[in-house]
A and B are shown apart, each in its own frame.
Chain A
Amino acid sequence: MIIVAYVSIGILLAGVALTLVRILRPGELEDRAVALDVLTSVIICGVLVWASADGSGTFLDIALALAVVGFLSAVTIARFIERGSE
Chain B
Amino acid sequence: MIGVIAGTLDVVSAVLLIAGSSLALVASIGLLRLGDPRSRMHAATKPATLGVVMCGTGAILQFDTWSPITKLLAVIVLQLVTVPVGAHALAHAITERERHKE
Contacts and interface: CB of A to CB of B under 8 A. Distances in A.
Interface of A: 1, 4-5, 7-9, 11-12, 14-16, 18-19, 21-22, 28, 30-31, 33-35, 37-38, 41-42, 44-45, 48-49, 51-53, 55-57, 60-61, 63-64, 67-68, 70-71, 73-75, 77-79, 81-82, 84-86
A25 B45 CA distance: 20
A64 B79 contact: no
Interface residues of B, number: 53
Given A15-B25, A45-B21, A64-B71, A82 B83 contact: no
A57 B63 CA distance: 9
A19 to B, nearest CB: 4
A1 B13 CA distance: 9
A81 B68 contact: no
B71 A61 contact: yes
Contacts of B45: 37
28 contacts: A1-B14, A7-B18, A8-B17, A11-B18, A11-B22, A15-B25, A15-B27, A19-B28, A21-B32, A31-B31, A33-B90, A34-B87, A37-B87, A44-B55, A44-B75, A45-B51, A49-B58, A52-B17, A57-B71, A60-B72, A60-B75, A63-B72, A63-B75, A70-B86, A71-B86, A74-B87, A75-B85, A75-B86
Interface of B is mostly: helix
Contact of A71 (B25, B56, B58, B82): B82
